[in-house]
Amino acid sequence: MRTFLIEDEPLAVKKLIRLLQEVDTEIEILGTAGSIRAAVEWLENNPAPDLIFLDIELSDGQSFEIFQRTEVKSPIIFVTSYDEYALQAFKVNSVDYLLKPVQREDLSRALTKYRELKSRFANPEPIPHLDKLLDVLRSQVEPAQQYRRRFLVKHAQRYVSVEISDIAYFWSEGRVNFFKTHAGQRYMVEYTMDELETALDPRDWFRISRQFIVSVSSVSQIHPYFGNRLKLHLKPEEPQEATVSREKVSDFKIWLGK
């Protein structure tokens, strides 16, 4: 199996190579890259490897940018310290998503998963880009969408983990975004409203406007409002006026009635 590693931490590279060689002595490491720029250059000037191991946070940005700069024709196993990018990872050829520190058992399981998928499309002719494999990967991982279960936020001089079920709604004030819990606690969250909208389960959450994303359980009262909009009363009490924008009213009614 021909592999390529994209990782900016030298110690992490050494550890991953050691684990790979322990799990499978026949694995061939074609090369490594520690940045988006180096990875793109290598991929554009070499045959596609059978498998790529890819960290998310690289020295010059997030590795998802690689997929925007060049065509990636190989399956990916993500190796990262962050769990919040799993959904995005599964949209770009991902076979598996491993959290650091990588455990030998998890790595072995991910390689087995890759081989099983590949074997389903055994072909006597070479498949340099594994197109069929990528098709089945996309069909399998995209429906298995995972949504945020909690947020890690800073409170005073410490960090606290807040379960998504404890959050009533999100809102923005200028360029800063917050959420309020059902208990009335307010926390700043370091995500854009667009990122939050994607990360939240649409069965339970609805973005009523550019400034607000509300949960089903937070909607206390609904009133008609000028401009064919709706005005909401939220619980706990909202910090600013919460209105459903005109173009979202119809979808909001459908969502709330499900």
Q: What is the CATH number of the domain that holds 19?
A: 3.40.50.2300
Do 161 and 225 reside in the same domain of the chain? yes
- Domain span including residue 197: 150-257
Nearest alpha carbon to residue 4 among 70, 103, 86, 83? 70
- Structure tokens that stand for 141 in this block: 């991982």
Q: In terms of domains, do 179 and 70 share one?
A: no
Do 197 and 171 have their domain in common?
Answer: yes
Q: What is the DSSP letter of 79?
A: E
- Same domain flag for 195 and 88: no
Say what the pLDDT of residue 84 is.
55
Q: How many C-beta neighbours within 10 Å does residue 233 have?
A: 13
Average pLDDT of the chain is 85
pLDDT in tens, 93-135: 567 888 888 888 989 988 988 888 777 655 544 444 445 555 5
User: pLDDT higher for 257 or 180?
Assistant: 180
CB distance 257 to 238 below 8 Å: no
User: Sorting pLDDT into bands at 50, 70 and 90, what band is 140?
Assistant: very low
- At 61 the pLDDT is 85
- Residue 87 pLDDT greater than 70, yes or no: no
Residues 157, 86, single domain; the answer is no
pTM exceeding the 0.85 threshold for the entire prediction: no
Return the CATH number at 163. Answer: 2.40.50.1020
Q: What is the pLDDT of residue 80?
A: 80
- At 51 the three-state DSSP class reads strand
What is the tally of structural domains in the chain?
A: 2
Final residue of a domain: which of 116, 141, 166?
141
Q: Are residues 19 and 135 in the same domain?
A: yes
The number of residues in the chain equals: 258
